[in-house]
Amino acid sequence: MKIKVTGGHSFCPGVDRAIRITEDALTEKGNTTYSTGPLIHNPEVVSRLEMLGLKVLDPAGDHPDVNGANVIIRSHGIDIETEDKFRLQGAVLVDATCPTVKWAQEAARELAESGCRVIVLGSESHPEVRSIVGRAGAPVTVIQNTDDAHRWADDEGHRGSRVGIVCQTTVSRNLLDSVTPIIEACAGRVEVRDTICESVTRRRRESVELARSVDLMIVVGGRNSSNTTHLAEICREAGVTTRHIEDSSEIQAEWLSEVESVGVTGGASTPDWQIDETVARLEEITGA
């Protein structure tokens, strides 16, 4: 059985940066280090960081005294209100926000300040989107799909308005391309800030190309990761059987029955070692 792995399968630059910042903070002696929610959407990686001493906080819930402690702003960023709350409590904030996410935050704020009605394309419940909305400084509409876009455009109060569009960094370019004309047909002027992460886009393109050349595709990464989940979805849409796993132990021998080739890829928050473990597990099962 042939095992093929995509080229760009390790941490994306933003996640790699957040991990390094956190590991550096954890080396400081005598200083407790927290993160504002899971640092990234990969349970195994977060668990390893917790073993090194990282403590994960619920930004919206109760938490211990953080006065003088390191508080890592996770890769998805946080809203201004939450940031101010931690500052008032005496936390030493360490900003590990992905630079591309920060770009999206700034784009939303600039568009709002220029007088645009701001639309964010993405999932309203995603922490990244919440951080973009919470740093815009003005009301923001979140649109998740074309149905949402049509509902927005059907509102007479939006006719002829100036609109600014910002993207959650991990949404598909197809979503931006399909929503923009709907908004343009209603608005007087539309300014689009394409804040989609090129690293994520490239990873999807490479994964789809690989999926079309194999009998089975295995996508490795957190099930709570939107970009990894979408990666699995588009591999299925390419017409190949696809399995989304968080850990190599999930691979079942029956998946490989009558399979001559397997493709392996990982999400933006999937480290090299999880890909290596997946390949090793496949080789163990098949005797390769």
Q: Which residues are catalytic?
A: 128
| Cα–chain center distance at 57 | 19
Q: How many helices (H) and strands (E) does the chain have?
A: 10, 12
Query: 13-26 and 43-51 are packed helices; what angle lies between their axes, rounded to 10 degrees?
Result: 20
Q: According to DSSP H, which parts of the chain are helical?
A: 13-26, 43-51, 80-88, 99-113, 127-133, 146-153, 173-186, 198-211, 226-237, 272-286
* Structure token digits, residue 81: 């209100």
Angstrom CA distances, 51 to 16, 63, 122, 274, stand at: 18, 19, 32, 17
Close Cβ partners of 158 (under 8 Å, ≥ 6 residues apart):
117, 152, 186, 187
Place of tokens 């941490």: 11
Q: List, in order, residues 6 or more apart from 16 with CB less than 8 Å away.
A: 10
Chain centroid, CA 115 distance in Å = 28
Q: How would you list the strands of the sheet with 140-143, edge to edge?
A: 140-143, 117-121, 162-167, 189-193
How many angstroms separate the CA atoms of 234 and 220, rounded? 14
**Which single residue is written with the structure tokens 């308005």?**
161
Q: Confirm if 108 and 132 have CB atoms less than 8 A apart.
A: yes
